[in-house]
Each structure stands twice: as structure tokens, then as C-alpha cells.
Amino acid sequence: MEKFLIQGGQRLQGQVSISGAKNAVLALAPSTLLAPGVHRLYNVPRLSDVHTMVELLEALGCSCEFRGTELVLDTSGLRLVRAPREIVGRMRASFYVLGPLLARYGYAEVPLPGGCALGPRPIDLHLYGLRRLGATIEMHNDYVRAQAERLRGTTITLPFPSVGATGNLLMAAALAEGETLLYNAAAEPEIVQLGEYLCQMGASIEGLGTSTLHIYGTNQLNPSSIEVIPDRIEAATFSIAAAATQGEVTLTHTRPNHLHAVLTRLTEVGCQVTATDSTITVRMNTLPEPSELSTAPYPGFPTDVQAQWTAFMLRAPGVSRITDTIYPNRFKHIAELQRLGAQIKLVQNTAIVRGGHPLVGTTVVSSDLRASAALIIAGIIASGQTEILEIHHIDRGYEAIEQKLQRLGAVIERVPVGD
Ligand code: UD1
């Protein structure tokens, strides 16, 4: 058990290299089940969520090996089409194995992933789409049992552009017989990369990055290799942390075009943002203006950046309103920010932030990945020492975050609980 100790009041300055995108790896790795053989993913971050996905694939019979930032996956020895409950229970993205297992092997059993700290997270859209593709699905002891000798292409309209459902259906439809039209699909960059990898394996998909996907099914896919895109949520987190400390930070190995909504918002509140194809420099000389925003599916403002933005707005004199339309219950960070002195009121799914009041360090507890990032930002802008407990949440999605922050001038250390 470890915790972070932060001495607040530092201004972040310097350069930080952005790691590969967690959510891209969590979709790419299960897609390798579609094509038995050796796949290579480059620029893979060492994160506990990635290790959980590797553990799941190994439990199914794949062999996986890290060589630095390369992940080599050999999916030729698959021996099980039943995902262990213990692993799926740890990470919702484990549900991504359902589509490829079903499409490749005609049968799969995956337990319900259940709720999580963000609130209830159903999988009805995944199952709706797979049924449309011809799968028979039944529930048995909280396990989803899906069966189909061969999936058949069809037209599917998602009521909501779910990232996970789009990913699962893309993978399933790639090996289905005939064409699938998927309306109201997710357009997140991680889904685009999944589609690009499926095409490299031999699938044919039109419309990636738009809300309508046209997938031409094929009989066989072949192993390939791909470089994982940079993590846009990590990049957004460092940009916001830089702005919150009135610092100046250059992010390298990033894709500014994936961050349009966040960079636009930063500019609107007074931040100077300059970008090249692969770098972003964020400079803030003043306190931010208050803001009003709502999260939305890509290309809108990401729900995965809502908590960090809320912490940032504690610096803005005046009233800010931050609404989460994707996860209306994703506000566990508010109670912890209040312990630091934040003036925030939650009205339904809107955080009303009265910014401009000083924060004072104390002990806070992480509840989920992005909430933890918000607490780190708050700890850096607070005076005195902030102690953050339960930091295993942050290790799910940020690679070596304290080392990256230390290089930018933050005073943060990871210490065993009890010290
Ligand atoms: C993915 C991301 C997560 C991000 C989220 C929204 C990964 C591994 N995780 O999660 O970081 O916060 O997108 O951008 O890529 N829903 C249903 N029924 C379903 C599926 C979803 O009602 O069958 C609802 C969810 O409860 C939620 C909303 O749709 O309210 C968004 O979920 P979805 O886009 O599916 O998110 P995930 O794929 O789980």
C-alpha cells in the first residue's frame, strides 16, 4: 500500500513525454484474438489496467511478453473461451474479449462487469448489437453466454455512441458474413485506431472517425503490428496541471488534433496554447476565467477530464459550472476536494465551483482513476502538505506520474502507507 505526499505551491515548468494511450491498448489487445498468431503493439504504457488485460489474455491461453515498450502477443494457443470472473471484475474493459471470442470461436462466456466508482455501467448496447449480428445470448450465474455459428452482417443503430459497444461490434462484425452498417457509432481516436488495426489485419471498414461505420466482414484476419497513439487524457491532465499552477509546460509525443475540445477550453479561460504536429505548449500567466462546460462524446469535452477541470476551476475567481452528461454520478472527487477547502456544490450532475479561495493541504482518498488526477492537481495548488491515499487507482492509467511531475518541478513522492 502506497500513498502520495505533495508539498504544494510549485509552478510546473519544463517538458513531459506523453505515454501510449491506455484505452487504445485495452481495445487493441483483445482484437488480437481475431487473428491467431504473433501481434506486436508498440508504445505500450506500463499500467496496471494493461497488465490486467494481459493477465486476461494469458488466462485464455495467449502468451504475452513485454520487451520495453513493445508488447508481443501470441494468440495461436487459445484454449479457453470463458473469461475468469476475478479478472473481469477488476476492469470493465475486459468485456472487450466478448466480441472477438464470439466472432472467432462461435461461443464465449464473459461475466457481467458490474458497476464501478463512476456509477452503474450497463452492457445492454454491446448485447443488443451482438444479437443484431445473429448471436444467441443468455445469462447464467451472472455470466453472459453468447453463441453463433457465424455472425451475419446487418444494420445496427446504437441509441448512444458507446465506446465499448462500438469497439466490441467493430471486432465482431470484422469476422461476420457480409456487411454491417453501424449508426451512431463512437468516434473516439482509440476506436479509430482499433478500426485501423482491424484493417491492417485484413478487414475493410469505411467511416472511421465518423458516426457511421461500414464494415465489410471477412473469413480470416491475419496478425499485424501497430504503434499505439499517445494518451490524450494524460496529455489533457498535464496541460491542465500546468495551467492550474500558472506554469509553462511542453508536452511531447502527443497529438494536438485529438485534444481540440480541451485545448479550446484552456484558451477560452486565458491559457496560451501553441502546438506543432506532435507537441503542445501550455503557458498561463494569469488566473483562469471561470467556465461552463458539459462533457460529451468525442469530439466533445471528455468525461475523463471532467474531474481535473473541476480541480482547475478552483483557481478561477467566480462561479464555474461543470456538467457530466456521460456519467452523471462521476463526482466522488468533490467530497475530497472539499476537504482541501474547495467550495463546490453538486446539483444533480453539475458541479458548481466557487473558485478563487485558497486550498490547504490535508489527507484525501482516491476513489477512481481520474478523481485521483484531480486530487494531485489540487494538492499541487494547495498550500502545505497533501497526503493522497489509495493511489493504486492512479496506477491504472498514468505511467510514472510522480516521476513526470517531479521533472516539472512538483514536490511529490510515493511512500509506503505507515510512513
Ligand atoms: C470508455 C473509456 C472510459 C470513458 C468512456 C466514455 C475505455 C477502456 N474506457 O468506457 O475511459 O470514460 O469510454 O468516454 O475505453 N452505456 C450503457 N449501455 C452500454 C454501454 C454504455 O448504458 O451497453 C452507458 C454507460 O453507462 C455510460 C455511457 O454509456 O453512461 C458511456 O459508456 P461507454 O461509452 O460505453 O464507455 P466505456 O466503453 O465503458
Range of the domain at 411: 2-18+256-416
Residue bearing the CA closest to ligand 1, atom 38: 164
Residue 189 Cα to ligand 1 middle (Å)? 14
73 lines ligand 1 (CB under 6 A): no
pLDDT value at position 114? 65
Find out whether 64 and 38 touch, Cβ atoms under 8 Å: no
List CB contacts of 110: < 8 A, sequence separation 6 or more: 82, 83, 88, 94, 95, 97, 98, 101, 143, 144, 146
pTM over 0.95? The answer is yes
- Is 364 among the domain residues? yes
- Is 247 among the domain residues? no
Q: What angle do CA 351, 298, 260 make, to 5 degrees?
A: 85
Same domain, 209 and 270: no
In the chain, the amino acid numbered 15 is Q
pLDDT value at position 118? 67
Grid coordinates belonging to 224: 499485424
Indicate the pLDDT class of residue 350, thresholds 50, 70 and 90. Answer: very high
pLDDT value at position 283? 98
pLDDT value at position 352? 98
Grid coordinates belonging to 100: 472477438
pLDDT value at position 14? 98
Same domain, 8 and 106: no
- Is 248 among the domain residues? no
Same domain, 199 and 321: no
How far apart CA 84 and CA 106 sit, in angstroms, is 18
326 lines ligand 1 (CB under 6 A): yes
Residue 64 Cα to ligand 1 middle (Å)? 26
Grid coordinates belonging to 294: 458539459
355 lines ligand 1 (CB under 6 A): no
Is 116 tagged catalytic? Answer: yes
Same domain, 85 and 146: yes
- Test site for ligand 1: of 162, 169, 182, 306, most ligand atoms within 8 A of the Cβ: 162
50 lines ligand 1 (CB under 6 A): no
How far apart CA 54 and CA 1 sit, in angstroms, is 23
Ligand 1: nearest atom to the Cα of 122 = 18
Residue 43 has pLDDT above 60, yes or no: yes
Q: Find, among 178, 170, 179, the residue nearest to 201 by Cα.
A: 170
390-401 average pLDDT score: 95
- The mean of the pLDDT values for the chain is 96
Ligand 1: nearest atom to the Cα of 128 = 23
pLDDT value at position 121? 72
Same domain, 270 and 201: no
- Is 312 among the domain residues? yes
C-alpha dist (Å) from residue 327 to 245, 294, 350: 28, 11, 11
How far apart CA 333 and CA 313 sit, in angstroms, is 13
Secondary structure class of 9 (helix, strand, coil): coil
How far apart CA 112 and CA 145 sit, in angstroms, is 10
Residue bearing the CA closest to ligand 1, atom 29: 162
Count the neighbouring beta carbons within 10 Å of the beta carbon of residue 112: 17
Same domain, 160 and 276: no
pLDDT value at position 113? 85
Ligand 1: nearest atom to the Cα of 121 = 26
Same domain, 9 and 40: no
Q: Which residue has the higher pLDDT, 78 or 6?
A: 6
Find out whether 225 and 42 touch, Cβ atoms under 8 Å: yes
How far apart CA 268 and CA 413 sit, in angstroms, is 33
Find out whether 157 and 183 touch, Cβ atoms under 8 Å: yes
What's 181's domain CATH number? 3.65.10.10
Find out whether 280 and 264 touch, Cβ atoms under 8 Å: no
Residue 208 has pLDDT above 60, yes or no: yes
- Is 243 among the domain residues? no
144 lines ligand 1 (CB under 6 A): no
- Is 9 among the domain residues? yes
What is the distance, to the nearest Å, from the Cα of residue 159 to the centroid of all Cα atoms in its chain? 21
pLDDT value at position 205? 98
Same domain, 75 and 205: yes
Read off the pLDDT of residues 288-300 as tens digits, 9 standing for 90 and up.
999 999 999 999 9
Residue bearing the CA closest to ligand 1, atom 15: 23
pLDDT value at position 271? 98
Same domain, 354 and 275: yes
Domain C-terminal end among 184, 210, 227: 227
Read off the pLDDT of residues 150-167 as tens digits, 9 standing for 90 and up.
999 999 999 999 999 999
pLDDT value at position 115? 57
- Is 91 among the domain residues? yes
Under DSSP, the state recorded for 399 is: T
In the chain, the amino acid numbered 268 is E
- Is 236 among the domain residues? no
23 lines ligand 1 (CB under 6 A): yes
241 lines ligand 1 (CB under 6 A): no
Which of 62, 116, 199, 271 is an active site residue? 116
Same domain, 111 and 129: yes
Residue 118 Cα to ligand 1 middle (Å)? 10
Same domain, 265 and 403: yes
How far apart CA 18 and CA 400 sit, in angstroms, is 11
Of all residues in the chain, the percent with pLDDT exceeding 90 is 95
How far apart CA 16 and CA 19 sit, in angstroms, is 10
Read off the pLDDT of residues 76-126 as tens digits, 9 standing for 90 and up.
999 889 999 999 999 999 999 999 999 999 999 999 986 566 666 789 999
Same domain, 324 and 362: yes
Count of the separate structural domains present in the chain? 2
389-414 average pLDDT score: 96
